[in-house]
Structure 1
Amino acid sequence: MFDINNILRENIKKLVPYSSARDEFQGEASVYLDANENAFGSPLDTNYNRYPDPLQYAVKLRLSEIKGVPARNIFLGNGSDEAIDILFRSFCNPGVDNVIIVPPTYGMYEVSANINDVALKRVPLTAEYQLDLDGIAEAIDKHTKMIFICSPNNPTGNSINRADVETLLANFKGLVVVDEAYINFSRQKTFIQELTEYANLVVLQTLSKAWGLAGLRVGMAFASEEIIEVMNKVKPPYNINEASQQLALEALQNVDQVNAWIKETLAQRDKLVLALRNFDFVLDIYPSDANFILVKTTDAKGIYNYLVSHGIIVRDRSKVTLCEGALRITIGTPQENETLIETLKTFK
């Protein structure tokens, strides 16, 4: 059985979080003289002189409606990267504990581990880009606190077999962190629906991809109430600024627009795959559940440099484990995708 107290750092158990002015008073008042703010306003059309809601309650209520999960099970971070870092700082003892990643995968898991002095165990995906469950089982020891799984996976684009993730959730006594940054583009259902089944599940999502709010830096973590309470205790007091909260809340009213963009992105992905298959230098295009495709080529570096010279930027992933010779290409607008194809026609 999972017990959060068995993996939580002792100093975090004892931590008394910073109590901000907005924690001590909640509600509406006519005169605020408690937080040493500038009472005269801001030198902008919109006033941002007051500190924001430290727990972003209005945004969480709207997300609760969209995601079908209580607001108390939602953490908001300055991008998903903040949530990842807080998980490390809350559950991993520096110089003692370790986490497992399954490369090729999102690079911030490794960066956060290095920043927090937490050992990293790598269990590469199989040739089919699926979990090596036997390898993961062998890698787990008494100091393994978390397993990170990106699904749909970055940079490969495929979804991870759901039953394999459930096997880990049922048998691992640490946290299983499922990063669903690209879930809006996937045929698979979100693991948020499994929060009541697995106390050790943390699901990461973001408003940066399908919602088109990468510049606002709003990431989400969904987990049990006790895990969310720990994350809220460790985070900085005002980690989501007022402008991001207001704009996110406004954007979250436009579900139909986002769904239309998702539909168009998937249609453009199919068209781009068909067009790329006509090039001799394209060896393979891997199945994708994301808004990008991984393309295996005969000359990734040459193609990358050629596209850069024409003002087109893709990601060269050819030095990443199991992605040799591959480029990661984001699905653009119809015009951008057409420009890409026409430019590639002149590559020799």
Structure 2
Amino acid sequence: MNILQAKVLKSCLNSEEKVLYLPGNLSQFQMALILAESSKFNSFIFANKYETLARDYVNKNSSSKVKFFLTETSVADFLPIIDKVVVFFGAVTPFIINSFGKIILTCLRTRTPLYEVPHGLFQTGQNLVDNSRLINTDSFYDGVGENLPSLTNVKLSWYGENGFGYPRTVLKDAYPARVIPKFTLVTSNTNWFLYSLSDKRMFYKVLFDYAKRNSDEIFIWCPHPAELLPNTLSHSVIEFRPSNLLLYGLHNDIYFYNIESTDDLIPYCEYGISTVSTCLLDYEMHSKRVNIFNCAGVKNLIAAFNHASAFNSSKEISHNAKIINTGMLKNFDALKFDQLLSQEVSKENFIDYNYLAAYV
């Protein structure tokens, strides 16, 4: 329980450095929890839209040092004493403007250091470029065409020589045995601009054909939230899915108690069918066999993996696909993360990014 107790404050001075995390979705919120708990810094998380989860976390973790801001006003009250801000995005997007616009703008104006950590395995502005000549960073269909500059001062990475590792690796042994039916897991993010309309149609056709041909299997489908938006192809085809292809979620076709996210389903699946997504790191972490949908937009990404099974027809999907090895999975190193977060940011480092304040 969050039992409140007061004490007399003898000094207003506090030398501990304070870090604010700004997660933009559930996956990022969970990642922020891992980073904040493991870090030496005094950590705060803006629980934007996740107040219930924050309250539940506080009740279940009485010894936790992490604190949560529940409102934007609360962030505003304490922002003058925040030393560093960690974000999971690097570009100006409608979502950022709507959710964190005032906070980011204040950081830019006050020159509070901003540190970007990845939110995905492949991410524009981090480790992904495309050849699009029609640039639309708001689109699910047009590309970016260049390496996207960041509104932050420092970009951190999960892998490579200076990578601090994939945060979710700390959870590898945290999954208890469960009595649940055997199932094949389907993870998709066809909302990505690297999948053309014809690629999307092909993925759904192949997936549905394979599920129909294997009617004795249970398939659990976890689409990206953006795939469920109205007026999308994915939203339109969902109602035509085979009866053994079940949407996961508390209010959908199937749900397992206390398993809320796609990442937490992966340890329990028999094998996977997936598009190129961050989920591949979790499949790899749990040594799972995965069939990865291949098309022109992602073929070079798949080719960069050490070991992977790719498909673009239902006949190429197999129960005995290769155990995925991306070559990009690195165990999380909390000391390395703190070391990277301790990098000094010179005042000159802000000059190139102040123009972004006009758009936030």
Same fold (TM over 0.5): no
**Which bin holds the TM-score, normalised by the shorter protein?**
0.3 to 0.5
TM-score (norm: length of structure 2): 0.32
TM-score (norm: length of structure 1): 0.33
